[in-house]
Amino acid sequence: MKKCLYIGILMIVFAACKKTVDSTNTPSFTTSTASTTSDSAANTFIYGAMKDYYLWADQMPSIASTTIKSKPIDYFYTLLYGYDTIDRFSWMDTSATNLTNQLNGINTVLGIKYSAFYADNTQTNVVFSISYVLKGSAAEAAGLKRGDFIYKVDGKQITLSNYQSILQNQTLGIELANFSNSVFTGTGKTINITKTTLQTNPILKDTVIEWSGKKVGYLTYIQFLTSFDDSLRSIFTRFKNYKNTGIDELVLDLRFNGGGYVTSSDLLTSLIVKDLPSKVGAVMNKKVYNNAYTAVLKKETNPDQYFITNFKAESANLGKLNRVFILTSPGTASASELVINNLKPFMEVILIGEHTYGKNVGSFTITDSKSRWSFGLQPITFKTVNSKDESNYGTVNGFTPDYVVKDNVIPFKPFGDPNETYLGKALSIISPVAFKANALEWSPTIHQNQVNNLPLGDSRILDRKDMWIEHKN
């Protein structure tokens, strides 16, 4: 392939909804007259890279009509096509090094994901209900767990005005709360926790549930990371060999999975799909690029490798399942949605929860090979379609669930607990009789006044929605 002048050694297909330098998700378009020649050169580089690879390159303004002396972090966003409406995902990071760590799940975090609820009927004060705690994190070491409630931070009440920023400090004083009779009461005890740099372990829970004569495999997976591909294979090997005959049903919990490596997404597809041996070599999914980049790739030897992903043999493939249950939320995005779209032509995919995020596109990580600038760009550069050329989930409504379930039953039950709201719904479909026999139709306490229905992380990095692949030079 011709040498790509704009690409550094590392190129990764990536997509996201926020830029890391702006936690408000709204870029500031600055046009300072103090901008330097260096800014102009950097912006010329940015424009050229975008013109070559941006999926909507034909919708970009002419370079003459742009403010070439803007700060690069501002300039990038002026080039996007319908930013925050059509292109909801392209973004830029001022540090490509930090970006590389983020792509591989290495971040400095407290290590929690949580949902924000109003603490009382005034809808002024807020309480955080912890959705999960990362393995090996500072939060786990401090004893925090799924289902706990965070009542105050650094002695401050959590409110509508501060709930998105109150966990930003490096060291935090956390006060938990008890919840009884729909009332939150602070414990009065503060736990001091300092954030640490952590490699995310995306496998939060895997187990098999014996359910009305059926063996139900359950997996909570929160990010597609190639460093855990072999761990996935091991889990599915256990599922396949469970009590010699293997599991009869699979519940895949992706409600907190915002994406990751496309190759890991493809692996998970291959581990689940029915009768993989008959599909090896057949099309799993395809990528669509802009016209200019498509023309370049088609001149390469074996150009199909850049456009088509085929099924590959995986010995841990479950083989016999006719259907899979996937638990979803607005936090289910990108590579997670790709798994859903990959599987739909080949087996029944039952979605339980809320609509997904709605992102069927990805992008290259673009860096300067001459090391003049340290930033990394993530402009959208491709769209994905499945084997039937379907890709109709790229809107704010994403995939629509077959069974609507909201994550507003508190306190949250542990992952893998049949009484947990999402898993309980899947089990009720698998065997309604067993569901009733095990008294799982409980009368839960439902706190309906959520601040929003999007799971949040203690770092905005954990909220990113993305998918990427290593570029084939």
Q: What torsion do the CA atoms of 405, 409, 411, 414 make, to the nearest 10 degrees?
A: -20
- Give the pLDDT mean for 137-156: 97
Averaged confidence pLDDT in the chain: 87
pLDDT class of 462 with cuts at 50, 70, 90: low
Checking if the pLDDT of 3 tops 50, the result is: no
Confidence of residue 472 (pLDDT cuts 50, 70, 90): very low
Element (H, E) at 284: strand 283-288
pLDDT of residue 107: 81
Instruction: State mean pLDDT over 135-154.
Output: 97
Q: Which of 16-20, 103-107, 312-316 has the lowest mean pLDDT?
A: 16-20
**Residue 384 near residue 362, CB atoms below 8 Å:** yes
* Angle value at C-alpha 265, between 263 and 269, nearest 5 degrees: 115
13 φ, ψ to 5°? -75, 125
pLDDT interval class at 456 (50, 70, 90)? confident
Q: How, if at all, do strands 376-378 and 91-93 pair?
A: antiparallel
Judge whether residue 442 has pLDDT over 50: no
Spatial CA neighbour of 330 closest among 393, 247, 396, 273: 396
Answer whether residue 80 shows pLDDT above 60.
yes
Task: Examine the pLDDT at 451 and tell me if it is beyond 70.
Answer: yes
Which tokens hold the place of 190? 């503060």
Q: Is the pLDDT of residue 153 over 70?
A: yes
Enumerate residues 6+ apart whose C-beta is below 8 A from 80: 56, 87, 90, 379
Sign of the four-CA dihedral 375, 376, 378, 382: positive
Counting residues of the chain whose pLDDT is more than 90, the rounded percentage is: 73
The percent of residues above 70 in pLDDT, for the chain, comes to: 85
Interhelix angle 335-343/262-272, nearest 10 degrees: 30
Question: DSSP character for 58?
Answer: G
- How far from the centroid of its chain's Cα atoms is residue 15's Cα? 10
Residue 140 near residue 147, CB atoms below 8 Å: no
Model confidence pLDDT, tens digit, residues 405-417: 998 899 999 999 9
Query: Which H helix or E strand runs over 186?
Result: strand 183-194
**230 CB contacts (<8 Å, ≥6 apart)?**
none
Domain annotation for the chain: domains and CATH numbers? 108-199 (2.30.42.10), 203-364+381-444+462-468 (3.90.226.10)
Specify the DSSP element, H or E, that contains 132: strand 126-133
DSSP state of 330: T
Residue 470 pairs in a beta bridge with: 12
Closest CA to 376 of 101, 1, 55: 101
Say if residues 84 and 78 touch (Cβ distance below 8 Å).
Answer: no
Please report the pLDDT score of residue 93 as a whole number. Answer: 86
> 174-205, pLDDT tens digit by residue?
999 999 988 999 999 999 999 999 989 999 99
Query: Residue 9 pLDDT more than 50?
Result: no
Q: Is residue 420's pLDDT more than 60?
A: yes
Site of tokens 């501002």: 74
Residue 355 has pLDDT above 70, yes or no: yes
Mean pLDDT of 290-316: 96
Residue 157 DSSP class: E
CA distance 197 to 111: 10
On whether the CB atoms of residues 216 and 208 are closer than 8 A, the answer is yes
Give me the mean pLDDT over the 226-252 stretch: 97
Question: H helices then E strands: how many in the chain?
Answer: 11, 23
Question: In 3D, which of 86, 134, 76 has the Cα closest to residue 110?
Answer: 134
Q: Evaluate if residue 14 carries a pLDDT over 50.
A: no
The conformation of residue 121, written as its DSSP 8-state character, comes to T
Q: What is the pLDDT of residues 20-63, one digit of tens each?
A: 223 233 333 333 333 446 999 999 999 999 999 999 999 999 99
| pLDDT at residue 25, as a whole number | 32
Nearest partner of 355 among 391, 398, 325, 407, judged by Cα? 398
Calpha distance 349→352 (Å, rounded): 10
pLDDT at 170 over 70: yes
Kindly report the pTM of this predicted structure.
Answer: 0.88
